[in-house]
Every structure is written in structure tokens, then in C-alpha cells.
């Protein structure tokens, strides 16, 4: 009896214990499940189901315009949109891209003298034949096209922003006769527009830069069949960036080292964030704040940016890079670092960068040739994978809280910008 009772007590204790274990385990499983569901809905996986896996793109513009509130297009705009569907050139000479290639996107406006220098520098880049070069044009300019069509050293695809203000000569996004200018009062002057925080109305030539950058980002990540499956990095350069012969190999090294050497780095850079610096020359990798010369990131990075479309599109600053520094990166909730080598592999040579000289198209042409000396050490990859990482903390620059330089106050610009972020993400699924 006693034994029996004891067993029963033991039994009951065991059962209680078991139920505690079971309940705990169930709880843990539930938590893991909830956590995973949460991560999934928060992450790029949600997008990959939507876009990356099937890469469902349309070339039915009637439908695009119906679903999205895009401006009424003129003939040139429609033509450019169709031209964007053309396959890359040089497929005969370069039929295949290397498995680990880094796509290069060169974004340009209308400075042919500069573009010639950049293309010449790219022609000497080791490994360039392994990849695809996408040239994204803000506006349609024959002289620029000729230079790009003459490239022979890799696959090349041209794309043109169909909604560039330069493509519209008498309607939004270009200048329309009914628009307010400078400090016009919309009521007194009976004109259209919303002034920025400093009382100035939009200038189509100036807003075109930020529009182009955003259209290009959305298009190369989510809107082109050539890149919508690309899982590696994409490098972004501009028409006044001289590229060193070792840029491509260095970038491949940086991209490969990034997860191990700097898991918090969100990008890799060819050049220091201080555009005047050529690097420290140390035997060390450098992690520092994001720069705007030769930056590369992967789709994970793009998803983070794309989720901040509202921040990007509503910030009253016409500079895409200042918008990123002052509002998008700070909203990531932690320092945003980029990884680079100790010697630069790209140099910004333009006399008039993005932030000045927006006037006439010829106002900032430098007559002299660009004289950038490439030393022997910069002709081949010069990053040692065994190096450690030096982190530059608390660098100065635009920070969260800066309210912007203005130039981006018009509701129509802000909404067009948001449409660019939405237009490759169809709401209503249509049958293929
Ligand atoms: C494009 O989409 C519209 C609206 O959904 C449809 O009526 C039209 O037939 C489509 N055109 C083509 C070429 O698929
Ligand atoms: C606008 O462009 C069209 C065709 O590109 C041209 O026919 C027209 O004259 C231009 N209008 C102005 C005001 O420049
Ligand atoms: C992008 O790079 C980070 C590391 O820097 C890595 O964790 C992430 O998985 C990469 N994303 C893709 C889509 O490969």
C-alpha cells in the first residue's frame, strides 16, 4: 500500500513535471513560430515571394499607368520606356556573365566630355568583361548615346528615365506654363505648385537629379529582367567618377569579406566618404559612414532603403545623397557603415558636383583634360583579406534632425517619387 501510494505520488509528480515540460516546450515552439513569422513579414522574403522569385514584370504601359498615378506621357517618354526593354549590346562578344559578377550602374545626365573620361577609365578595369554595365540616362541626348553605343569591353544596357523632367518640355514633370516660379504666390499669381520650406517653387532641372536616382534604383533592382534575379552586389557610379583599374577586383574582395569582417556594414565603397581623400594607405580595411562615390550593396540593402520610400520622397531636399544621410540611414536604427580599402579605387573629378552648377548644361565643363595619376599599386587588386578593420566612429556630416536644403516641396514631385517606389509592385495580380 505504502509502496503503492508512494508510486502514485511519484507518478503524479512525474505527470505534473511532464505537463510542465510539455507546456514549456509548446510555449517555446509557439514563440519560435511567432518570431519566424514576424521575421518573415519584416524581411526581404516577403518581397522575394512577390518579386524576386517570379520577377513578374510588365511591358504593358497602359496597365501600368492605369494602376499607378503616373504623369501623362508624351511620344518621347513612351519611346524611351519601350527602348528600356531592349537587350544589352555586345552579347556576341560577351555571351555570359561571370557567376559572381557585380553589376555596374553608371548614371548620367548630359556631360559628354566627362562621360568619355569615365568610359575610358572603365575600359581599363580588370575583370570588366565579366559583368553587365547599365547606363541610366536622365534625359535623351544623342552625344551621350553615341559614347555609350561605342563601348566594346562588356555587355552594356542603356536605360532612360521616361519621367525625367528633361523629357517633358511643357508639362509636369518638366516645366509647365501654369507652374509657379521662384517665390510666386499660388493664390495671387494663380499658378500651380507648393513652395518648399524656404518659400521657393520647384525647378524641374534641379528636381530631376533626385527623381532620376530614385527611378534608377527602383528600376535596376525591381524593374529589369536583366537584374531582377541578381543576388549579388550592384555598384553605382556617376558620369564624373574616374574608376581605377583595380576597382572591380577590389570590390569583389570587399563584397566577399563584408559578412565576416563587418557584419554591420551595409555597403562596400570604392572611395572614402570624404571625396577629397585618396585614402589612408594603411594596411587595414576601413569601416566608415556611407559615401556617395562608388557605393555597392545587395538586395538586402535595397529592401531596407525601399521600405523608407516615404522618408525619402517627403524630405525637403533635392539632393538624393543628403536625403539618404539625413533621413533614410538614420531611420535604420543604428550606425550605417560601409567597408572600403585603405586606398581609393575611384575619384570624383567633376568641377561641379551634384550640389552646385545646375544652370546651363555647359556651365561646368572643364576645358583641360582630367589628369588623374594611377600608380602601379592601383593597377591590380590591393586589398589583403588578412587585414583587420579600422572603424571611424562619430564622423561629422548630415545627421538626423537636419531639415534639408529645400527644393523638394511640391506635392507632385513627392507623389511621383512614391509612384516610382510602387510601380514595380503590382497591387492587383494579373494572370501572366
Ligand atoms: C494591357 O492592359 C490593359 C488593361 O489591363 C488591357 O486592356 C490590354 O489588353 C493589355 N495589353 C496587352 C498588349 O496585353
Ligand atoms: C516640345 O517638344 C515637341 C516635340 O519634342 C516640339 O514639337 C515642341 O515644339 C516643343 N515645345 C516647346 C515649347 O519647346
Ligand atoms: C547581403 O549582404 C549581407 C552581408 O553584408 C548578407 O547578410 C545578406 O544575406 C546579403 N543579401 C543577399 C540577398 O544576398
Q: Please, what's the b/e burial string for 43-52 (b: 16 or more CB within 10 A of its CB; e: otherwise)?
A: ebeebeebbb
How confident is the model at residue 401, as a pLDDT? 84
Given a contact cutoff of 8 angstroms between Cβ atoms, the answer to whether 134 and 157 are in contact is yes
Give the atom of ligand 3 at the shortest distance from the alpha carbon of 232.
Answer: 14
pTM of the model: 0.84
SS3 104: strand
Ligand 3 cavity residues, CB under 6 Å: 231, 258-259, 298-300
Going from the Cα of 168 to the center of ligand 2, the distance in angstroms, rounded, reads: 9
**Of 415, 413, 403, 419, nearest in space to 203 by CA:** 413
How confident is the model at residue 18, as a pLDDT? 58
Could you give the percent of the chain with pLDDT greater than 90? 72
**Ligand 1 pocket test, candidate residues 63, 65, 78, 432, most atoms within 8 A of CB:** 63
pLDDT per position as a tens digit, 141-152 = 999 999 999 999
Q: Which residue's C-alpha comes closest to atom 11 of ligand 3?
A: 300
Mean pLDDT of the chain: 86
Mark the binding-site residues for Mn(2+), compressed into ranges: 240, 348
Q: Which residue's C-alpha comes closest to atom 3 of ligand 3?
A: 259
When comparing pLDDT for 162 and 63, which is higher? 162
The torsion angles phi and psi of 92, rounded to 5 degrees, stand at: -65, -40
With a 6 A CB cut-off, is 63 part of the ligand 2 pocket? Answer: no
With a 6 A CB cut-off, is 170 part of the ligand 2 pocket? Answer: yes
pLDDT per position as a tens digit, 253-277 = 999 999 999 998 999 999 999 988 9
Phi/psi region, residue 4 (left: phi>0; alpha: psi -120 to 50; beta: rest), is alpha
Tell me how far apart the alpha carbons of residues 125 and 7 are, in angstroms, rounded to a whole number. Answer: 81
DSSP 287-302: EEE--SSSEEE-HHHH
Q: Which residue's C-alpha comes closest to atom 2 of ligand 1?
A: 63
Given a contact cutoff of 8 angstroms between Cβ atoms, the answer to whether 61 and 429 are in contact is no
pLDDT per position as a tens digit, 292-334 = 999 999 999 999 999 999 999 999 999 999 999 999 999 998 8
How confident is the model at residue 266, as a pLDDT? 96
Domains and CATH numbers, the chain: 69-353+376-422 (3.90.550.10)
pLDDT per position as a tens digit, 66-100 = 788 899 999 999 999 999 999 999 999 999 999 99
Q: DSSP secondary-structure letter at 177?
A: T
Going from the Cα of 431 to the center of ligand 1, the distance in angstroms, rounded, reads: 11
Amino acid at each position: 500500500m505504502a509502496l503503492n501510494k508512494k508510486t502514485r505520488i511519484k507518478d503524479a509528480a512525474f505527470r505534473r513535471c511532464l505537463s510542465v515540460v510539455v507546456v514549456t516546450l509548446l510555449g517555446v515552439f509557439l514563440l519560435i513560430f511567432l518570431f519566424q513569422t514576424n521575421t518573415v513579414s519584416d524581411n526581404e522574403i516577403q518581397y522575394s515571394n512577390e518579386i524576386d522569385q517570379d520577377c513578374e514584370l510588365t511591358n504593358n504601359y497602359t496597365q501600368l499607368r492605369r494602376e499607378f498615378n503616373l504623369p501623362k506621357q508624351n511620344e518621347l517618354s513612351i519611346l524611351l520606356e519601350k527602348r528600356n526593354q531592349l537587350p544589352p549590346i555586345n552579347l556576341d562578344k560577351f555571351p555570359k556573365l561571370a557567376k559572381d559578377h557585380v553589376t555596374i550602374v553608371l548614371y548620367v545626365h548630359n556631360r559628354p566630355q566627362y562621360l568619355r573620361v569615365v568610359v575610358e577609365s572603365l575600359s581599363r578595369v580588370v575583370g570588366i568583361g565579366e559583368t553587365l554595365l547599365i547606363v541610366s540616362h536622365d534625359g535623351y541626348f544623342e552625344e551621350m548615346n553615341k559614347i555609350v553605343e561605342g563601348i566594346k569591353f562588356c555587355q552594356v544596357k542603356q536605360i532612360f528615365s521616361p519621367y525625367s523632367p528633361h523629357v517633358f518640355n511643357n508639362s509636369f514633370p518638366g516645366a509647365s506654363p501654369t507652374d509657379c516660379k521662384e517665390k510666386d504666390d499660388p493664390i495671387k499669381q494663380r499658378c500651380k505648385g507648393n513652395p518648399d520650406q524656404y518659400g521657393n517653387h520647384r525647378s524641374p532641372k534641379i528636381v530631376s537629379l533626385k527623381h532620376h536616382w530614385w527611378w534608377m534604383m527602383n528600376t535596376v533592382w525591381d524593374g529589369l529582367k536583366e537584374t531582377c534575379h541578381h543576388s549579388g552586389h550592384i555598384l553605382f557610379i556617376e558620369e564624373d567618377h574616374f574608376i581605377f583599374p583595380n576597382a572591380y577586383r577590389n570590390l569583389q574582395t570587399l563584397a566577399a569579406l563584408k559578412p565576416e569582417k563587418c557584419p554591420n556594414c551595409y555597403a562596400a565603397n570604392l572611395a572614402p566618404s570624404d571625396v577629397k581623400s585618396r585614402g589612408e594607405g594603411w594596411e587595414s580595411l576601413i569601416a566608415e559612414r556611407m559615401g556617395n562615390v562608388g557605393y555597392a550593396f545587395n538586395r538586402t540593402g535595397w529592401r531596407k532603403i525601399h521600405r523608407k520610400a516615404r522618408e525619402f520622397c517627403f524630405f525637403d531636399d533635392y539632393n538624393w545623397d543628403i536625403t539618404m544621410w539625413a533621413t533614410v540611414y538614420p531611420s535604420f536604427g543604428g550606425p550605417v557603415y560601409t567597408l572600403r580599402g585603405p586606398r581609393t579605387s575611384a575619384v570624383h573629378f567633376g568641377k561641379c558636383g551634384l550640389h552646385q552648377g545646375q544652370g546651363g548644361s555647359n556651365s561646368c565643363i572643364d576645358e583641360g583634360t582630367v589628369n588623374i595619376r594611377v600608380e602601379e599599386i592601383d593597377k591590380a587588386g590591393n586589398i589583403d583579406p588578412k587585414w583587420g578593420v579600422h572603424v571611424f566612429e562619430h564622423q561629422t556630416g548630415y545627421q538626423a534632425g537636419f531639415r534639408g536644403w529645400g527644393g523638394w516641396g511640391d506635392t507632385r514631385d513627392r507623389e511621383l517619387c512614391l509612384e516610382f517606389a510602387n510601380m514595380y509592385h503590382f497591387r492587383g495580380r494579373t494572370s501572366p
